[in-house]
Structure 1
Amino acid sequence: MVFYMQYLEVLFRINDPKPLAAYEFEINIDAPDHFSVACLNGFLTPDIGYTVQEISFWIPALTFILVVLAAVGKEWYNLVHPLREDDESGQERSISRSHLTRIADCLAYIQFIFFSSALSLRQPGFLQPVVSSTSWSTLMTRRGIVWRHSLYYGIRDGIHEINGTFGGTSGLEHMTQVMGAPVTQETWTNIATLAVVILALLYAVIQAGLHLRWTRDWFQQSGRWMIDRSSKPHKATIWVALRVYLSYLLLPLTAWTTYQLDSVSARPVYYTILVILVVALLIIGCWWGMLRSPQDMGYLLVDNLHKQTPEEPSRTQDYYSYVTFILLFARGVIIGGLQRFGTVQLFSLMACEVIQLGFLAWAGATSELLSKPVLIAGARLSALLLCLGMIPDLWTHIAASALGYVLLAFHALFLVGMFLVPSAYESTRLGITCYTEWQTPQQPARGSSLERPQVCLRLASTLKTPNNKNRPNKPKHYGSRQKQQSIKLRKLLLGLRQQIFPRFRTRITRTSPDILPLSPA
């Protein structure tokens, strides 16, 4: 039995292709008698070019870096400016941690940009090449730690090449081929290895921070959420690293791991068991963290709710942390485990956003309609609604291309407006404040309590009159006899200071008689 393999090589040139364009083509093959032998149709996506790739990479990356720097600067400012009892803004500073939750919000939205473009829908050809530059947020890279060789070209002969014979044509498989990354099994190995390395680095950084002089104070003042002092140091450090790890990477790890179960029959048995074990470890880690402290578990993800006050604590914060992690895990399962069902994927993700908005309304976390949690959930829901035009049954090439342009513009504007601009504003304001304090340090007003040594005031306030009453505070003048008694009192106080505080090095300024008056004997 003889098999003949035939292939068709077509040469063509596109003059001056439009930026971010996708072309629909159709090839009719006729026999010599003009009888139609075959008909091929498909889409061609020219290389988007180096400039577009750099822009699509650096806008999200620089936004995330600026958000992190702004949060670190704010935490450092709070460390060197500890709260005082008379600080009017003390309660606001101690409650608000929006600068920390903004890190998780920004990273989660960049991850959403990548995964929403990797659904099993019919996206325009240029969308995935542009969005693939954000794969770093999901731990996916073109060349991993373990496997670096790829069977996919990514770009070949000036076009983005996609081969449907390699592992199917689902959304994540298309994204892998567009990027030119290794095949699915090798890509997951690279992601899992990188995840373990990041967890080890988190542990090392926290351990170093506990021992370095410049960061030890911050860890000590961070409260129980950071280091549980009732536990052993190494155990407490592992616990903190795990919480940070799950807060930022639970969604991508769940998505990539459950995606390995999409074609379980084609995987080795040991590989399937390992994948199931990783999913179980993620579930156990989240469950254990929630049992210990839901508020500590959600510290980096959930800002304090308006119903939660120090005077009247409630369980609302705990419930919100539960829902947040459950939805993170559910989104990961939907993205990775439902790759064969694109329409179900889309509507399931939309349901998650509706649940998020509904719980925000129930929990009272949104005093205003334009609060940050509502805007972020609303933005994700809006982007998913735009993807309705990419469902295969509703799809047209022109409509999908138009929606692709709208999606890219929407993501760029939201990143800039929601994360880049506020972080730049806070960084600038913090820099101006620090510069102003450095140039014009605050001087205590003359005659204020800051100008006088507190040891004198405290000792003077304990002196009693023969009638066992405190001396009056209002200054009075009693002539030369009063001045002599003042000088004697000063010498007495200096002697007491040398006896009680022998190592107190602060110089006590000379106090005028009208500050510490004595009544006539």
Structure 2
Amino acid sequence: MLFTILLWPLFLLSVQAAFVRRWECSASDQTLTDPVFRQLSLDGGFKSTDNTTTLSLKLTGEFTSHSCDTLDGSSAQMVVDARVLGRSVGHQGRTMGTCAESLYFDHSTTGLRQYAIYQTSYYLNHTYALHTLDTTIRLRLDGREITCAAAHITPYIGSTASVLLKAVPFIIMILFGLATGPLRIRRSNGRSMFRYELDDTSSDPAQSHAQGLGDCLQYLQFIFLTGCLTLSYPGFFQAIVSQLAWSSLIFKNWPVTHQFAYPGVMSGLYATNSTWGLEEMSQVLGGTTMSDLWVNAIVNLTLLILGTAVILQIPFLSEWISKNFRTRQSAELSDFRTESLTQFKRTGWSVIRTVLDRFLLPIVAYSSFQPLLASWFPVYRTFMAVTFVGFLAVSLGFTVWYLGKNERQSAFFRHSSFPRRESGDWFSSALYGVPIIRGVVIGGLQHSGLSQIIALMACEVLILACMLWNYRYGPVWRHTCFSAARLASIVMTSAFLPHAQVSERSRGLLAYCILLVHAGVLLFGFLGPCLVDIVRFSLREMGVINSPADDFAQSNRTPVFGIGQLSQRSTRNISFTELPALRPAAYTHRTDAYPSFFRAPRPGTAGSSSRSLAPSKIPSQSGSESGESTESTESSMDSVDLSVLDSEAATERSDVDYSKREADQYYGRPTGSRMPADRADRQWADDHPTSARHWRWSRPEKTKGFEVFRPGRPGL
């Protein structure tokens, strides 16, 4: 097989036309064929003029029973019928036949002219790019048919279509990453009660700045790699999905080629002749052999990791230099060491995310293909590929375990192919291994297309089952739709099995349906939502609209904390005086929505009854102590309204101690008086007049309730 792989491209370079892979005609067509002529090769090419596209075909063969001259073989006529989706798309010109002693000029003469060469033209009224010509070629001599061949000829899609098919998905991925990354961080700033502890990306180095890149990238990889299955795809399908090779670490034949590359497009059509799907995709791309393709993927991944690490240092160093320039003095070395350590952790997590989340599927697929070539390459090469897959699997398992143990899965895997899981069960965590299974199936089961389809369908069924299992923990409809689209596309590819009894017209229609499904996911699942978010963000920044309770705010809703999480709070010294003014309405949280956030008050005790005060009995402080406390409190609490800690409390009782709650352990509680909620509303409305009108119109009327004033505690 390897000899065939290396030999046939050299043969292609020795002829003027491109090699066309031929197939046997159907059994009904072969019943009337007189087997006196044996086909040897079929070549073809496209040539376009102003209004006409000409398909040139050259059929060579050998007469088996008699010589070409004896049978007058040069007078045989080629009858060509080219169809697109079952409809004839042109007409044939005249046939020229020649008897030859040899097919090669330097062959020794034997005096027997048994070989024949036939050439004809087929005139099309269109270029039929993005289509495949279902072509039947019959050779007739003296009224009888002496041979029949079938070919699926795919014209070159064109440079314009090639650029668009590469650029449009890339732009969609960038826009989606922008809308779910920097814009999400910007829009959520100031929207959450815990924004300085949770929404700030610097708080967790495992969180990504470009969260949406992985989600869209993984779907593009699925489109490309499912086009690499060992199936009888229509030629235009692989020609189209091959333009997404960049998403799977393939950049044609770069950087390793060993001075060999498949011809790809020759004479205006795709020249392929392969056994396995990955190999055929490489030929469509005009890439190198599969052994070099794996090395290229490793090299490209390494370069991508280095580039990611370098890019991450640019904003860090720029911010540090800018800080020194503004303060006109060198920053403290301890601060630089702390920030450098955080930046080092963030870089490490970014490298792990690049390998284990964004490019795990293609690198496993290429590595799993290497054992199929074990008989032609050294043993160490196969050992390295298998070891690499095992290392990736162990690394992914350890990473998922570590993140699950520290409850940080949502930070690392946010906007991945799977939804955020709050249940924490092993069944949900097992989904992170699906890309490895897919990669092994696509690369390691190339010998059986049926096995690949069954295994990929099982993966999608597993994902849908997990979506159903976790629907009560949050919305999963988006990931469910993506999985359903993938499952539908895999089911439709069953028609491309080599032995499936499906007509070429039905195969072409199903291929277009698969492409429409993928296009629909890219447009309505990625491009549409991100454009809406970008437009809404732009209008909000210009002050045209104001709708703070949007999808971003809901998706970034403050989580529920227990005493364990509160005890592990941040140690940063940030006082309330350093925080900017927040919107009072953003504080409102109902106790029925977060029952574990507010804990029921503790019964009063002898020690606590002296500290508990009824709302009508407000202690007054005299002298300088009272004035100093009041002034300090007003200055520190002008920008923050903490009335939510006291709102919607239980029925007023005199034997209840409200002086301390779990929230006080996290934030502390200032002493003295505080700004009423209506005063904070008026102050925020003065700073944001346009938004204030919206809030006045949309906010429900606030009911008055009793208020509890707590005495000061030592040390605050």
Q: TM-score, normalised by structure 2?
A: 0.53
Q: Does 1:195 align with 2:274?
A: no
- Match for residue 411 of structure 2? 299
The change in CA–CA distance for 1:405 and 1:200 in structure 2 (over 3 A counts) is same
Answer with 1 or 2: which has the greater Rg: 2
Q: Does 1:464 align with 2:617?
A: no
**Alpha-carbon deviation of 1:397?**
0.7
Tell me how far apart the structure 1 counterparts of residues 348 and 263 of structure 2 sit (CA, whole Å): 40
CA distance in 1, matches of 2:524, 2:135: 38
Identity %: 24
Gap runs ≥5 in structure 2? 1-101, 105-114, 324-337, 547-579, 582-617, 631-716
* Cα 1:61–1:84 shift into 2, 3 Å: closer
What is the identity, as a one-letter code, of the residue corresponding to 2:445? L
Alignment-derived partner of residue 172 in structure 2? 63
> How much does 1:67 deviate?
0.9
What is the match of residue 287 of structure 1?
Answer: 397
Q: Which has the higher helix share?
A: 1
Please identify which structure carries the higher strand content: 2
* Aligned pairs (5 A) from 1:40-59: 40-59=149-168
Amino acid at match of 1:327: V
Closer/same/farther in 2, CA of residues 234 and 414 from structure 1, 3 Å limit: closer
Q: 1:402 aligns with which of 501, 504, 509?
A: 509
Residue 229 of structure 2 corresponds to residue 119 of structure 1: yes
1:259 is aligned to 2:259: no
Q: Aligned-pair distance for 1:154? A: 1.1
Superposed CA deviations along residues 127-183 of structure 1, whole A, max 9, x for unmatched, are: 11111111111011113123385432111111111123xxxx211111111111111
Q: CA deviation at 1:385?
A: 1.6
TM score, norm. by length of structure 1: 0.71
Q: Distance in 2 between matches of 1:468 and 1:159?
A: 90
Taking the TM superposition and a 5 Å limit, the aligned residue runs for 1:207-218 are 207-213=313-319
For 1:400-436, what per-residue CA distance to the aligned partner results, in whole angstroms no more than 9, with x for missing partners? Answer: 0011111222211221111001111111112222233
SS at match of 1:109: helix
Q: Which residue of 2 aligns with 1:136?
A: 246
- How many angstroms does 1:216 deviate by? 11
Look up the SS of the partner of 1:132 in the other structure. Answer: helix
Alignment partner of 1:431 is 2:543:
no
Q: Secondary structure at the match of 1:118?
A: coil
Kindly indicate whether the alpha-carbon contact (under 8 Å) linking 1:306 and 1:365 is maintained by their aligned counterparts in 2: no
Equivalent residue for 2:520? 413
Please list every run of 5 or more consecutive structure 1 residues that lacks an aligned counterpart in the other structure: 218-227, 309-313, 440-448, 451-460, 474-521
Q: In the alignment, which residue of structure 1 is the partner of 2:278? A: 172
After TM superposition, give the deviation of residue 85 of structure 1 in Å.
Answer: 3.7
CA shift, 1:75, in A, is 4.4
Q: Check if 1:159 corresponds to 2:269.
A: yes
Residues 383 and 151 of structure 1, relative CA distance in 2, 3 Å threshold: same
Question: 1:245 — aligned with what?
Answer: 355
1:103 to 205, 213, 221: 213
Which is further off, 265-274 or 130-139? Answer: 265-274
CA contact (8 A) 1:464 1:471 kept: no
Give me the whole-angstrom Cα distance separating, in 1, the residues matched to 2:445 and 2:117: 35
RMSD value, Cα: 4.1
Give the distance between the partners of 1:51 and 1:397, measured in 2 at CA.
27
228-237 or 274-283: bigger deviation: 228-237
Q: Which residue of 2 aligns with 1:445?
A: none
Q: Distance in 2 between matches of 1:307 and 1:292?
A: 15
Match of 1:373 among 479, 485, 489: 479
Q: 1:223 is matched with which residue?
A: none
Alpha-carbon distance in 2 for matches of 1:141, 1:86: 44
Q: Measure the CA separation in 2 of the matches of 1:471 and 1:269.
A: 81
Q: Measured at CA, do residues 216 and 399 of structure 1 come closer, stay the same or move farther in structure 2, by a change above 3 Å?
A: farther
Counterpart mapping for 1:349-388 below 5 A: 349-364=456-471, 371-388=477-494
Task: Check the 8 A contact 1:305/1:364 in 2, yes or no.
Answer: no
Cα distance in 2 for partners of 1:216, 1:377 equals 46
Code of the residue aligned with 1:58 in structure 2: it is A
Counterpart of 2:394, as a letter, is I
Q: Structure 1 residues 416 and 463 mapped into 2: Cα distance closer, same or farther (>3 Å)?
A: same
Greater relative contact order (CA < 8 Å, ≥ 6 in sequence): 1
Give distance in 2, aligned partners of 1:235 and 1:99: 14
**What is the aligned residue count?**
425
Q: Report the CA distance shift for 1:471/1:151 in structure 2 as closer, same or farther (over 3 A).
A: closer
> In 1, distance between residues paired with 2:144 and 2:543?
84
Counterpart CA distance in 2 for 1:403 and 1:262 is: 30
1:103 Cα shift?
2.7
